[in-house]
Structure 1
């Protein structure tokens, strides 16, 4: 009986060690999400107050979605600023927004003025976005439009 207890204890200990080893091994590769790059790279905070690094799309008009950036290709993302090219899809709201049509305009997006994020002061976020329209632009828009970013 004593041999059976020792054998059971050894089996349980071995099982616990194997489980611990597998749990550690299954942790996977290092996390490269926005939370992990926060110490070196500022983030872009979206309408849902989520951190983004190099997003492909970004909603500018959070309330109604009538202006958004699409197909962003980032050529720079550094602690000083970020630059991308893409499209700004804007609803013309004619005769009213629900019946309006979206038109796309080529833009260069520039992010700058990183500052600590109030929600998480250990994270810097970009506080300004500038859109430069390459050629055509929405009616009433300047060639360069500057937006303060929420956060």
Structure 2
């Protein structure tokens, strides 16, 4: 793998807004891609892992999830963002980061940009919106 990859939930409006923020504001050489359009096998990821948290697969094969993945993404960006990533890896912050991350993940449908679909399990989202997050049309 030549480029590191940051994988997020493309069916979630809140997650997509965060990914758009990364694309606009955080200079990174990583590929930022929704898991629904990523080659999970090539990345060594499972759907369950991607439903659980954002994922990082480094060009060196190192993997991380949740706030650890965010820290890895920030570590490869501009100076201010690198400092934020280092702060996220600082042990007392890292210990608090996972519970905060899980709270955000459970409540993402309530956060700015979130929608009701963000709170649904993947199976229910696919039933309602199709595998690519688009509404299904019944014939």
TM over 0.5: no
Which TM-score band applies after superposition, normalised by the shorter structure? under 0.3
Larger Rg: 1
TM-score by length of 2: 0.26
Structure with the larger strand share: 1
